[in-house]
Amino acid sequence: MRPSIRELIEYYNPNLSLAQAFTPLASWYTDPRIAQLELRTVFSRSWQMVGYIDQVLSPGQYLTSDLAGEPILVIRGRDSVLRGVFNVCRHHAAAVVTEREGKAENLRCPYHGWTYDLEGKLILTPEFAGVTNFDRSANGLVPVQIAEWQGWVFVKLDGGGPNLKEFLGGDLIERFERLPSINSGPEPAEGNLERLFWFERRSYFLNCNWKVFVDNYLDGGYHVPHIHGGLASVLDYSQYTIETGEHFCLQSSPIASGKTESQTAAVRKGERANYFWLYPNLMINIYDEVMDTNLVIPRGVDKTEVIFDYYFADTSDQAREKNLASIAVSEQIQSEDVAICESVQRGLNSRAYNSGRLSVRREAGEHLFHRLLHADLIAGLSDQEATV
Ligand code: FES
Ligand SMILES: [Fe+2]
């Protein structure tokens, strides 16, 4: 008989130490029931990064996103307040805004022309005279929680719960502020990343569960010498450190500058590579004056989109070639990770694999990830059973 979803989740024992721990069952990565539950729990209860503040600086500027299947619109009002709303028309549910980003005077639904102002209030309903018991003021776009941190915009689907800072945790916020490579700038303004500017976005599609990508990221550099020859040549792998906090993991490696003259070495300079992971699905990778974020989005139980946003200190035309060379190195690393993640997904589907063990030296980040996931899934399951 097929095990129940509760059995699959409870099979994982979060109380084991890293030395004793097993990975979650392979079915966490292949069973659509788990994928559904994750959307309602992990992705609905966490603060999710949807964009960066430069996209929405002035009144009317907006960005759209898709969060756990929910269309989201982030827009700066005429009153300069940044708001998040569901991008779902109150008439017959069409997306009101269809572009990924832009600037608007007001928000006109493309379906029947209902129009909302920049604050989400419904201001125009063509050919709607005579409709009884209809209160226009009660039919604005539905708000969603929104907050900013370090120049990124975050949204949370479920109401209540921790605010963004509580969710990120004081330990992460403090750790981020201590980054020497970021604080050494001439004028670190409100955000420590103030000196870096967005340059380009690239999306990658993988045939694997989103957690395979996260696990791969969190293996403490275990795979680096085996999979990433180019990267291994510039990182001092033996000095790799792994720090886990409440909701985050920081993997860090000294950069062995001058070790080689490779293409990788030319664009990965500085003292340390810092790889932050924020539960559940955001990575922030910082090398001196280069940064990229990776947002890992489930697109089905065995499909994942990873959105890379690249940031550089200098985004002028003169720096363009150098920045593109840096992205090319990142793409090479990414293609190596895609291949291994897809191989893992095939293995997770095999009858020969159920679960595995973790390296004490390397895999503390994965252990944290699995325990946080387990807690969210158990809580979501209990809520679901309580409402049936
Ligand atoms: S669905 Fe938007 S106006 Fe009809
Ligand atoms: Fe990798």
Q: What is the pLDDT of residue 179?
A: 74
Ligand 1 mean position, distance from CA 137 (Å): 16
CB distance 108 to ligand 1 below 6 Å: no
In degrees, to the nearest 5, what angle opens at C-alpha 35 toward C-alphas 29 and 39?
140
Whether the predicted pLDDT of 259 surpasses 70: no
Residue owning the nearest CA to atom 1 of ligand 1: 92
- Cα 50 from chain centroid? 8
> How would residue 267 be classed by pLDDT, with cut points 50, 70 and 90?
low
- Ligand 1: which of 111, 115, 127 to mutate, most ligand atoms within 8 Å of CB? 111
Ligand 2 mean position, distance from CA 228 (Å): 7
Q: What is the CA radius of gyration of the chain?
A: 22
CB distance 124 to ligand 1 below 6 Å: no
- Ligand 1: which of 112, 123, 127 to mutate, most ligand atoms within 8 Å of CB? 112
CB distance 114 to ligand 1 below 6 Å: yes
Q: Which of 10, 158, 11 is closest to 84 using CA atoms?
A: 158
Structure tokens at 129: 């005279």
CB distance 371 to ligand 1 below 6 Å: no
Tens digits of residue pLDDT in 310-336? 999 999 999 999 999 999 999 999 999
Tens digits of residue pLDDT in 59-116? 999 999 999 999 999 999 999 999 999 999 999 999 999 999 999 999 999 999 999 9
- Ligand 1: which of 89, 90, 97, 131 to mutate, most ligand atoms within 8 Å of CB? 89
CB distance 128 to ligand 1 below 6 Å: no
Any idea which ligand is nearest the CA of 109?
1
CB distance 368 to ligand 1 below 6 Å: no
Ligand 2 mean position, distance from CA 118 (Å): 42
The number of beta carbons lying within 10 Å of the beta carbon of residue 87 is: 25
Whether the predicted pLDDT of 189 surpasses 70: no
> How would residue 185 be classed by pLDDT, with cut points 50, 70 and 90?
very low
CB distance 141 to ligand 1 below 6 Å: no
Structure tokens at 204: 């990658």
Q: What is the pLDDT of residue 383?
A: 81
Q: With the C-alpha atoms ordered 161, 162, 163, 164, is the resulting torsion angle positive or negative?
A: negative
CB distance 111 to ligand 1 below 6 Å: yes
In degrees, to the nearest 5, what angle opens at C-alpha 379 toward C-alphas 373 and 384?
120
Residue 241 near residue 251, CB atoms below 8 Å: yes
Mean pLDDT, the chain, integer? 92
Collapsing DSSP states into helix, strand and coil, what is residue 79? coil
CA–CA gap between residue 225 and residue 222 (Å, rounded): 7
Terminal-residue alpha carbon distance, the chain: 23
Average pLDDT over residues 186-200: 65
Ligand 1 mean position, distance from CA 121 (Å): 14
Tens digits of residue pLDDT in 269-315? 667 889 999 999 999 999 878 899 999 999 999 999 999 999 999 99
Query: Residues with beta carbon < 5 A to ion ligand 2?
Result: 337
Average pLDDT over residues 6-30: 98
Tens digits of residue pLDDT in 220-258? 999 999 999 888 788 888 888 999 999 999 999 888 765
Q: What is the DSSP letter of 68?
A: T
Nearest ligand 1 atom to the CA of 112 is 3
Q: What is the pLDDT of residue 384?
A: 76
Any idea which ligand is nearest the CA of 127?
1
